[in-house]
Amino acid sequence: MMKKHWNEIQPVDHYTVGTNGMLQEYDRKIITFLYQPLIGSICYSLYMSLWGEVEENRLWSTDSTHYHLMNVLSVNLQDVYEARMKLEGIGLLKAYENKDGEARSFLYELQPPLSAEEFFHDGMLNVYLYRKIGRTHYLRLKKFFTDVSVDKKQYTNITRSFQDVFTSEQINFLHHDANVDSETGSGEQYMKYGKNDGLALDEVDFDFQLLLAGLSESMVPRKAFTPKVKETVLKLSYLYGIDPLQMKNIVLSSLDADDTIDIELLRKTARDWYGMQTGDQLPDLTTRMETKKPVARDKPLSQEEELIEYLETTSPKDVLSDISNGGSPSKADLQAVEEVLMSQKLPIGVMNVLVQYVLLKTDMKLTKGYMEKIASHWSRKKVTSANEAMELAKKEHKQYLEWAEGKKESKSNRRRKPIRTEKLPDWFKEDEVSEESDTPAEGYDFEAEKKKLEEELKNFRK
């Protein structure tokens, strides 16, 4: 099961983008036409947005926050997190985390895509793409990424060597040494183009020992399992759901006369096996996040659980919009929320509770100073979830009421406490009613009146 995003990233967490070598315009075409059908538009937009943060002919960007990404992509943090997972899984992103006390920052290193030739011969990605877009469009894409081949054997190579063209003069090394001056200093690297390492498949889900045990030394020499063969076996087992015992027969059918494993024959044999099992239906690519969504619950979520899930997974921008019945939040409101979010480093669910509470309590005016004061209190209290924020809002409601009025009530004012008329979030109302009902006589302080009568009685006796 995929973890929820709030265990992994928060809007206030900083990140810096780097690229594994300089990315080229041709890479953009490969990602757009070959990768995008597999990863989807949000994931594609995330890659392109991160790429856009790295200036041309540079390798690293300045740092930003995930809240910035949420606004750029117009999605919530869960969508950003899931898109990041997809980029990691398909080999387009490497993520690195640094924790310094409570602060957390990330390095996102974009990987160049596979070359067109590597993609079309990958053995997994090309199969998923074929299934996704169909044969006609697949062949069109293949034509787009190929060109005519010229047979150079019909020509004679007449290229001259370096020595044929240039001669070397004596150099005075007293004034300079080009070799020494060419070395990079600490923390520096030369600009270069990077290379994609391919899909990062691990052996956790496939028992190679069981496969090798079934293939005795006399049948298949161990040296036949080159790194490329092992990688292909892993891909085929994942792609077609082939277990080690079934894979044994496929490997045996792929041996050539020299007792080496023919990779193309291995792929064809696996494809034929899968076709017999499924009636020639190609496998489809789905993510673990997608497969877990329809899981049935033991019982439906309560209204409170639904509210908490909404607050924990929705961006503050969308919460503001929902409160305004779908209207776009003002630039000033968004800026106020962003500044409080950045300065107090509140988790997304806590920030959403704060937005709801302050907006509904102050007649739909998002007062930055008031919001900052409560946010600072919650930050000191180390509130980490929407549920904790709700409970604290209920507990400290009287204090927050005083902050909203700008001054503390005097004792005489408390005796004549006005009836509360401000609007409050739905999650607040039930407890608020019970709290009010606990007061025996609204506006009447029995102990104060008793003391007052006793004082008057003493004066009267004197």
Give the pLDDT score at 320: 81
Give the pLDDT score at 297: 52
Q: Could you tell me the residue ranges of all domains in the chain?
A: 5-120, 208-278, 303-437
Tokens 């161990």 belong to which residue? 222
Give the pLDDT score at 175: 57
User: Per-residue DSSP letters for 274-316?
Assistant: HHHHHTSPPP----HHHHHTTPPPSSPPPHHHHHHHHHHHS-H
User: Per-residue DSSP letters for 161-207?
Assistant: PHHHH-------TTS--HHHHTS--TT-----B---------STTS-
Give the pLDDT score at 304: 76
Give the pLDDT score at 47: 96
pLDDT digits (tens, 9 = 90+) for 303-356: 777 888 888 877 777 788 788 777 777 777 877 887 787 777 788 788 888 888
Average pLDDT over the chain reads: 78
Average pLDDT over residues 379-393: 86
Residue 105's H or E segment, with its range, is: strand 103-110
Q: How confident is the model at residue 295 (pLDDT cuts 50, 70, 90)?
A: very low
Which range, 30-39, 62-71, 388-397, 439-448, has the best average confidence (pLDDT)?
30-39
Assess whether pLDDT exceeds 90 at residue 117.
yes
Q: How confident is the model at residue 233 (pLDDT cuts 50, 70, 90)?
A: confident
Query: What percent helix, strand, coil does the chain show, rounded to 5?
Result: 55, 5, 40
* 241 strand-pairing partners: none
Q: How confident is the model at residue 4 (pLDDT cuts 50, 70, 90)?
A: low
Token reading at 335:
């800026």
Helix (H/G/I), strand (E/B), else coil: 326: coil
Spatial distance between the Cα atoms of 126 and 30, rounded to a whole number of angstroms? 12
Whether 348 contacts 77, CB under 8 Å: yes
Give the pLDDT score at 172: 61
Amino acid, single-letter form, for residue 304:
E
Give the pLDDT score at 438: 45
> Residues of the chain with pLDDT > 70: what percent?
73
Pairing of strands 64-65, 93-100: unpaired
| N-term to C-term CA, the chain | 81
Helix (H/G/I), strand (E/B), else coil: 398: helix
Residue 343, CB-side half-sphere exposure with 13 Å CA sphere: 15
Picking from 195, 191, 199, 183, the residue whose alpha carbon sits closest to that of residue 54 is 191
Task: Of 2-6, 24-28, 308-312, 431-435, give the lowest mean pLDDT range.
Answer: 431-435
Assess whether pLDDT exceeds 80 at residue 56.
no
Token reading at 191:
């600009």
Picking from 413, 397, 383, 387, the residue whose alpha carbon sits closest to that of residue 304 is 387
Token reading at 433:
């009613």
Q: How confident is the model at residue 96 (pLDDT cuts 50, 70, 90)?
A: very high
Token reading at 344:
């107090």
Assess whether pLDDT exceeds 60 at residue 31.
yes
Q: How confident is the model at residue 132 (pLDDT cuts 50, 70, 90)?
A: very high
Average pLDDT over residues 100-111: 90
> Residues of the chain with pLDDT > 90: what percent?
23
Picking from 406, 330, 397, 396, the residue whose alpha carbon sits closest to that of residue 370 is 406
Give the pLDDT score at 130: 92
Length of the chain: 462
Average pLDDT over residues 273-296: 60
- Surface-to-core class of residue 199, CB atoms within 10 Å of its CB (0-12 exposed, 13-18 middle, 19+ buried): middle
Residue 65's H or E segment, with its range, is: strand 64-65
Task: Of 170-174, 212-216, 224-228, give the lowest mean pLDDT range.
Answer: 170-174
Spatial distance between the Cα atoms of 98 and 87, rounded to a whole number of angstroms? 20
What CATH number labels 5-120? 1.10.10
Spatial distance between the Cα atoms of 138 and 142, rounded to a whole number of angstroms? 6
Please give the order of strands across the beta sheet that includes 93-100: 64-65, 14-19, 103-110, 93-100
